[in-house]
A = this chain, B = another copy of it.
Amino acid sequence: MSASTPGSAPVLLAQAPDGVPTITSGDDLAALLTPVLAALTWPDGSTGLAEGDVVVVASKIVAKAEGRLVAARDDAERDQVIAGETVRVVAERARPDGTTLRIVENRQGLVMAAAGVDTSDVPAGTALLLPEDPDDSARRLRRGLNARTGVRPGVLITDTVGRPWRRGVVDLAIGAAGVQLLADLRGRADAYGRELTSTVVAVADEIAAAAELVKGKVSGRPVAVVRGMGHAVTREDGDGAASLIRPPAEDLFRHGG
């Protein structure tokens, strides 16, 4: 379908298919997702994936397919797993219960609580590490979907993070292939003809957030397709989401706390 409706502005659509099977180590994600995505029905009656779509996948199922589940039988083992993923502590504070809340930079360069180690929705006694290289995971999934469907969608792999100053968590892109991650409006003129000097929109993170609204955490829908962002989907895989991480030298909050 076209993302435009005659007489109206472009429409963004997002939906998260039911029926994604439980993913375990060694699964071929592209093979398992292909029939699920083919069954999507859009409001105009069309079905499946189309060029310009962005497939947004929770890092959790990517990590499970890649065998990133490790033993964490108690709090001490869990803390060891987190320490192994931690590059440096960005901020920490004692909790009333005597434990310590730590925000850390992890091996992927992401700043997160618990270094991105996931202990919810995994079997008891285990913890799930993030994909080793989420950009590589995104590229491989894109290639696999392209081989099976003939469509070359953009692919984002997302994870959920807290934010300084704001309540609540949001989803971010931690892996990407074929998506223009930043829309650089610098050099374009505002309505008064002056240059917009510092507006670089984090499009990939906004797509991740839009996808989260339909995916949800409890619903068993870890994958969404976002339609209407075809202008941000590129033939080449392009920069990975690692390029969205602000270099420490530009970052006022790398050593905060």
A residues near B, CB below 8 A? 1, 5-18, 22, 39-44, 91-93, 101, 103, 110-111, 120-124, 160, 163-172, 181-182, 185, 188-192, 194, 196-197, 199-203, 205-207, 209-210, 212-214, 217-218, 220-221, 228-229, 243-246, 251-257
Contacts and interface: CB of A to CB of B under 8 A. Distances in A.
Contacts of A160: 199, 201
Nearest to A42: B5
A241 to B, nearest CB: 10
Contacts of A122: 192
A9 B15 contact: yes
A170 B206 contact: yes
A244 B192 contact: no
Copies of this chain: 2
B169 A202 contact: yes
Most buried by B among A39, A185, A207, A213: A213
B14 A166 contact: no
A217 B192 contact: no
Contact of A213 (B164, B197, B206, B214): B206
B243 A167 contact: yes
B190 A168 contact: no
A201 B212 CA distance: 9
Given A91-B252, A218-B185, A191 B9 contact: no
A115 B100 CA distance: 32
A62 to B, nearest CB: 17
Contacts of A170: 201-202, 205-206, 209
Contact of A257 (B6, B203, B206, B253): B253
B199 A203 contact: no
Determine which residue in A101, A244, A252 has the highest number of CB atoms from chain B within 10 A of its CB, and name it: A252
Contact of A169 (B6, B200, B209): B200
A228 B214 CA distance: 9
Contacts of A171: 206
Contact of A43 (B39, B43, B111, B121): B43
Contacts of A40: 8
A23 B111 CA distance: 40
Contacts of A181: 168
Given A41-B5, A101-B252, A217-B196, A111 B164 contact: yes
A213 B213 contact: no
